[in-house]
Amino acid sequence: MIDSHCHSSSIRVQADAQRAFVLMADGERQGKWALGSWKRRTVGPQTFVGESVFTGVETWVRIHADPVALTINYEVGGNEHGLRFRNAARVFDGPVLGHPPGTAVITLFTWRLATQSDDAWAQICSTHETEMFLIRALLESGRDSDAPSA
């Protein structure tokens, strides 16, 4: 069944789960791959502002990360008062799913708002699929942190 309420995108990466989690949970690092909130800056505790590459408008994000469960919930909005739960991510250690050591599987979820048009829903779904490739490229190239690559 095609799910009209929730979309998920997953990708396996050649990086350990903890490193993948840090990329997904760090608001400023997320600004390297989140096309809807690019070039992030910190504005409060776990709260960030970036710019949509699609519209140029500010997008606010508040992150709730659980490093034990390797899960992240993202509140998203056009301003601080408009923040609401929109997306979630889960990182799995590759061997848990039968993949080799030193790999991880990252899944990004989004849920459709009742007010979201078909075009807006299609855009967010395809954007998240594209972001999976950006995430993998950052991790596998070593460009996922501010430290110089080895």
Number of domains in the chain: 1
Distances (CA, A) of 29 to 41, 56, 135, 139: 10, 19, 10, 11
Asked whether residue 37 is domain-assigned, the answer is no
Reference 8, options 105, 86, 111, 141; nearest CA is: 111
Place of tokens 């889960």: 90
Segments forming the whole domain that contains residue 85 = 6-26+63-141
pLDDT digits (tens, 9 = 90+) for 54-104: 999 999 999 999 999 999 999 999 999 999 999 999 999 999 999 999 999
Asked, for residue 101, whether it belongs to a domain, the answer is yes
Residue 84 domain flag: yes
Residue 22 within a domain:
yes
The verdict on residue 18 lying in a domain is yes
Q: What is the CATH number of the domain that holds 95?
A: 3.30.530.20
Burial class of residue 60 (count of CB atoms within 10 Å of its CB; 0-12, 13-18, 19+): buried
Average pLDDT, the chain: 94
